[in-house]
A and B are shown apart, each in its own frame.
Chain A
Amino acid sequence: MPSYNCSSCGAPVEITNRFSKVLVCPYCGTHHRVTVDGLDPSGKHPALAEFPSLLSIGSRGTIQGKPFVARGRLRYRYEDGFYDEWFLICDNEPAWFTEDEGSYTLYTEMIENLSVPDNLDAVRAGQNILIGERKIMVKERGAATVEGGEGELLHYVEPGAAITYIDGIWSGKRVSIELSEEEIEFFIGQPVLRKDIIIEA
């Protein structure tokens, strides 16, 4: 994978994964978009505050028996605190791993360019929404702000950006929808028990 120098501090940074679209300099916190021409800096943002997490950048292990490596993290701030989304390469495929209030979810299906209802940002908890052929029950709806990121990320979100998140249930699986000004992201995942997450020392 290609190596670059951070446009802000000059430190050597390496993109280790072909799926990465954002690279955060581990030294100075500058966010870079990954383009065909190299790194495009979007700005320097404060490093994420230390917050107890199961994973860290570079963590390796298995989740439900599948090998993974943690490449990046996005942190969101919402009314009741923080939650993290980890960008993993799990079983050689990109995946998102979230930890929130002691529950873990591994999202392995990421669907883009879906047709969604027009009033998606006005849905209420308990309501059904139809996305594609999936009838999803909205479990929770709220607003969050991107606090920042680190490592390599699958998609680019500007720190400080506001998103609307909708958590739902479909066919015994967790569904996560994130609406921002720029895009709508749709993830399908399964809850993961702590005992199914093994992190190599």
Chain B
Amino acid sequence: MKALKCSACGGDIVKTHRVEGSGEDEEYIPIARCLSCGKEYDQYTREYYEYFSDIFVADMENTVFRLGLKGELRGEEYEIIGRIRYQEEEEYEVATWDEWLAVTPDGVNHWFVEEEGRIYSYEEYLPESIDLESESGYLDFEGKRVSREETGYVARIVHAEGELPWKPEIGEPAQIYEFKKDGYNFSIEQYEDEVSITRGEHISHKEIIEAFRSEDYLESYQNTVRMRKRYRWKALIYMSGILFSLAYIIWAISAGKMVPDVQKEKRVVTDNVLKQEEGGRAYLSRALCGPVELDRADALYTIHVGVDERVQDFHLEWQSYRIMLIKEERLKAVTGTAIPPAKLQETLVDIDALEDPLESFVFSGDFWDEEGYDSDGYWHESDTADEKDFVLDDTGRYFVYLELYSQNRRNIDSVTVAVEKDVKSYRYFIIIVIIFFILYALNRNKSKTYNELPFEMSAY
């Protein structure tokens, strides 16, 4: 192995890093440094590409081409005679592509560019008009203003082999502009002494393999294409399942109908009575709403409860709620048909002690509003709404009993209760969507990456 020498003083070169930035933005930039004079060579120097040449040529076999290949492509015979590999200067990680020189029997040159699994065919182009010295941010190309910033980059030659029309130097820079116009790809390469303008188009691996490598790779190519198509179909099927499930979920969400007038008739049984207990104190309120007709048996309902801040603000406090659905006839059996207030209160106070439960459904929870400080600064969170699904065994008329324990005195009308019927359950469809999405993503990835060939092929 030949020792690397500094171009300035001849001293030994060592490959190391330079740290740029700090904290989360810290980056380790590879450089070469002379042990004698300390001179550093980074990606903006010619010598860097000689010192680090080994990393840029590590995957030289990852290509469909090789020198000496002969074949007929689109009616023209070609022989691959040369290769130049480039690296994008701004990228200190490997970002290379190859340009293969092919020559026809008449000696006409043609370039095949292989980059990130795609192949392009390029030939020389003479534009009707071109101005590389127009206003600083743009160049003019046949009436098209091409942004230098958006289309330009610097490439460095990192390897050359075979027969080439000029002698490339390792590390030689070229300013390149790439853009599309009229369905073609255009490339302007500007070196110190020459400007090269080429026009190209994407060419499929199928054509290249059939022209040059049919004996070696045609079968593997066909298998790869077949399997990718199969994965694509699977991905489409899973996507269809996702779309169907999402459509069902959307329909299910909107399928429910609100039971009207749940709180229209409200009897306030207890209003902010202060209760002192071991854990603290709270204001107790009770109300009985309804009755309302719930006419779907063995069907899904949803009860919604929440704080209405239009009635009263809810700020830095808590409130516990308990909601019960009590069948009208069962309540009247206990209190009497008229449901006198005193008897109602007595019944509701002792509702938990009744031998036979009065309620058909019970649902409890908390509303809260909090704030504080942590390592990220001030935070404020609240939870002032809730809902629960339930199924009723019996249809009929039901009262909605609301019991509230509040930190502060609160208007009982500030808590809203609503009942939704004809609700469609979509919970399992959400699980299906998640599972199908994972399967879709896996198959879609496979449809792009499955490969029996020894080189990258991103499009075929």
Contacts and interface: CB of A to CB of B under 8 A. Distances in A.
B132 A142 contact: no
A172 B132 contact: no
Interface in B53-109: 103-104, 106-109
B133 to A, nearest CB: 5
Contacts of B131: 128, 135, 137
B428 interface: no
A31 interface: no
Contacts of A135: 131
Nearest to B106: A194
A125 B165 contact: no
A125 B190 contact: yes
Contact of B133 (A101, A127, A141, A193): A127
A138 B109 contact: no
Contacts of A80: 165-167
Given A80-B167, A127-B133, A169-B127, A102 B192 contact: no
A27 to B, nearest CB: 30
A103 B195 contact: no
A58 interface: no
Interface string A74-99: 00000010000000000000000001
B109 A172 contact: no
Given A102-B107, A102-B109, A137 B130 contact: yes
A60 to B, nearest CB: 19
Instruction: Please indicate which of the listed interface residues A126, A138, A142, A171 has the most CB atoms of chain B within 10 Å of its own CB.
Output: A126
Contacts of A191: 124, 126
A186 B460 CA distance: 47
Interface in B329-365: none
B106 A140 contact: no
Contacts of A66: none
A137 B109 contact: no
Contact of A125 (B108, B109, B128, B193): B193
Interface residues of A, number: 26
A124 B126 CA distance: 18
B193 A128 contact: no
Interface residues of B, number: 26
A135 B140 CA distance: 13
Contacts of A141: 193-194
A173 interface: yes
A38 to B, nearest CB: 40
A174 interface: yes
B128 A139 contact: no
Contact of A139 (B106, B167, B192, B194): B194
A194 B132 contact: no
Interface string A179-201: 00000000000010111000000
Nearest to A138: B195
Nearest to A193: B108
B100 to A, nearest CB: 15
A126 B104 contact: no
Interface string A11-31: 000000000000000000000
Prevailing SS type, chain B contact patch: loop
Contacts of B276: none
B126 A173 contact: yes
Interface in A85-137: 99, 101-103, 124-128, 135, 137
B375 interface: no
B108 A126 contact: no
A138 B193 CA distance: 9
B22 interface: no
Interface in B193-207: 193-197
A103 B191 CA distance: 20
B136 to A, nearest CB: 14
Given A80-B166, A126-B133, A101 B109 contact: yes
A103 B109 contact: yes
Nearest to A140: B194
Nearest to A173: B126
Given A101-B109, A102-B107, A126 B195 contact: yes
Contact of A101 (B129, B165, B167): B165
Nearest to B129: A171
B127 A172 contact: yes
Contact of B126 (A125, A127, A140, A169): A169
Given A128-B133, A137-B130, A171-B129, A103 B193 contact: no
Given A137-B131, A137-B132, A194-B106, A174 B126 contact: yes
Contacts of A127: 132-133
A194 B104 contact: yes
A55 to B, nearest CB: 13
A130 B215 CA distance: 54
Interface string B291-331: 00000000000000000000000000000000000000000
A140 B194 CA distance: 4
Nearest to A104: B108
Contacts of B193: 124-125, 140-142
Nearest to A52: B107
Nearest to B196: A139
Contacts of A99: 107
Nearest to B132: A126
A173 B107 CA distance: 21
Contacts of A138: 195
Contacts of B191: 125
7 contacts: A102-B106, A125-B195, A139-B194, A142-B193, A169-B126, A172-B128, A191-B124
User: Nearest 7 pairs between A and B by C-beta?
Assistant: A194-B106, A102-B107, A101-B165, A172-B128, A140-B194, A126-B132, A102-B108
